[in-house]
Amino acid sequence: MLIAILSTLLLVCSHALAEKHDAKDAVRSTTSEDQTAVAVTVYNVNLGLIKDQRSLRLPTGPLELRFMDVASQIIPSSVAIRSLVDTASLHVLEQNYEYDLLNPQKLLDKYVGKDVKLFYKNAYTDKEEITNATVLSNNGGPIFKIGDEITFGHPGRIIFPGVPENLMSRPTLLWLLKNNLSDTQKVEASYLTDGINWRADYVLTLNEKDDRADLTGWVTLDNKSGAAYKNAKLKLIAGDVHRVKETADYKDKMLRLAKAEAAAAEPQFKQEEFFEYHIYTLQRPSTIRENQTKQINMVEAENIAVQKELILKGANYYYYSQYIDQMPKQKVGVFVEFSNKKENNLGIPLPKGIVRVYKRDSEGSLQFIGEDSIDHTPKDEKLRIMLGDAFDVVGSRKQTDWKKIAKNIYEASFEVLLRNHKKEDVVVKVVEPIPGDWTILSSSHEYKKTGAFVAEFLVPVRQDQQTKLTYTVRMQY
């Protein structure tokens, strides 16, 4: 019985070795010239899924396939290949990623112990000469043996007889395959790559009265993955995709995440819900070159109703002490807010990005007035953009009273002075983060309790005048 088992194992091993030997004899290489289609799905977490389809004439039986022109930042554990003609016609025996790329250092490393030629100019005869040499080492620089002598720092050029088989001139996927299809094989190689990212950039242009605006959204695609993608079908995934590298199911999860296909064609990007994210499909092919930043128009909306707000924000530490310093000048923030609703000429999911805001001056020239980042914003939600601080509207604050009523009960009084140097009336929203269980005992202006620890006062301030907000609050904590 033992002899039979050993015989079977030897037979299996011999078949495997024979298949590997036959595969080495049948070597095929494919480049982007064989490409029939490529699809690129880009996540806004510096990650891309590449699906590269190629048409190949492959011999039947075992073979070695060198799949070239792939991204240099490929994630090797994510690689997969399949037949698009008949999945059962192509079997993967082994797969490798050859990242030992050709460069002078590695080429010399591969030639240690081998013969090269040194091409140099003879300083005495002023003639160019060639001499044979053996590379002894390449540690900190090449060391050569010329005849019976050892030398280093040779001034000439090194001429190599060829490129070693295990040194690639470009990133290459290498498969040991078994092909059962005698006709032309159409394959799809899919893999994840780092180094490709996208973000949304928005331009918001305010009108003269700051109550209406036009919005233009752009997709900015940055490709540093180490490969180009010609006439690619482009998809973008918007959402906070969690990445956990080096886990067994990482590849499968991310591949499944990008399998959604777009339906009817529409201009530029078509948007649809996908899992807990949103997917945007460009409705035309686009070439993504290596080391290229590309911008594509994503959204346009006109005559959006916006609201400008002037906000003075307090801090909760004001309420814990009777020794708070007077604050003679506090900045008043400038914000614009609008609703992402259909009735406001929007109502579409907006991916996170940067909103840059512009307005025309008295001469009609467009001027930049501020920018802010937004998070992923679904439809029917509000967006608030911080533009900066007001120049002509300032505030000051002082604590006018402090009392300890009981062991954990306190009363504090404040005076907030708002000064308006503009040629128009304004309304300043004063936001006070009051700690503990609080009650406002008296106030010069009406307020709203907008949160458990927030009181908001809307304070009108006439042009070239000042308004004083005073209030007393009782706190228990």
Mean pLDDT of the chain: 85
313 or 248, which is more confident: 313
Asked if pLDDT for residue 176 goes beyond 60, the answer is yes
Domain assignment of residue 469, yes or no: yes
pLDDT in the model for residue 3: 54
Answer yes or no: is 330 within a domain.
yes
Does residue 151 belong to any structural domain of this protein? Answer: yes
Q: What is the mean pLDDT of residues 405-424?
A: 93
In a domain, 391, yes or no: yes
Question: What's the confidence (pLDDT) of residue 266?
Answer: 42
Tell me which residue range forms the domain holding 140.
104-159
pLDDT in tens, 375-385: 989 999 999 99
Average pLDDT over residues 80-86: 94
User: Is the model's pLDDT at 178 over the cut of 80?
Assistant: yes
Three-class HEC string of the chain: CHHHHHHHHHHHHHHHHHHHHHHHHCEEEECHHHEEEEEEEEECCCEEEEEEEEEECCCCEEEEEEEECCCCCECHHHCEEEECCCHHHEEEEEEEEECCECCHHHHHHHCCCCEEEEEEECCCCCCEEEEEEEEEECCCCCEEEECCEEEECCCCEEECCCCCCCCECCCEEEEEEEECCCCCEEEEEEEEEECEEEEEEEEEEECCCCCEEEEEEEEEEEECCCCCEEEEEEEEEECCCCCCCCCCCHHHHHHHHCCCCCCCCCCCEEEEEECCEEEEEECCCEEECCCEEEEEEEEEEEEEECEEEEEEECCHHHHCCCCCCCEEEEEEEEEEEEECCHHHCCCCCECCEEEEEEEECCCCCEEEEEEEEECCECCCCEEEEEEEEEEEEEEEEEEEEEEEEECCEEEEEEEEEEEECCCCCEEEEEEEECCCEEEEEEECCCEEEEECCEEEEEEEECCCEEEEEEEEEEEEC
Is 217 within the bounds of a domain?
Answer: no
Q: Which position has the higher pLDDT, 159 or 197?
A: 197
Residue 11 lies in a domain: no
- List, for residues 181-220, the tens digit of each pLDDT value: 999 999 999 999 999 999 999 999 999 999 999 999 999 9
Query: pLDDT tens-digit profile of 443-475?
Result: 999 999 999 999 999 999 999 999 999 999 999
pLDDT value, residue 254: 47
pLDDT digits (tens, 9 = 90+) for 338-367: 999 999 999 988 998 999 999 999 899 999
Query: How large is the average pLDDT for residues 231-247?
Result: 76
Question: What CATH number is associated with residue 314?
Answer: 2.60.40
Reported confidence tier of residue 50, pLDDT bands at 50, 70, 90: very high
Higher pLDDT, 219 or 124: 219
Least confident of 76-85, 130-139, 243-252: 243-252
Number of domains in the chain: 2
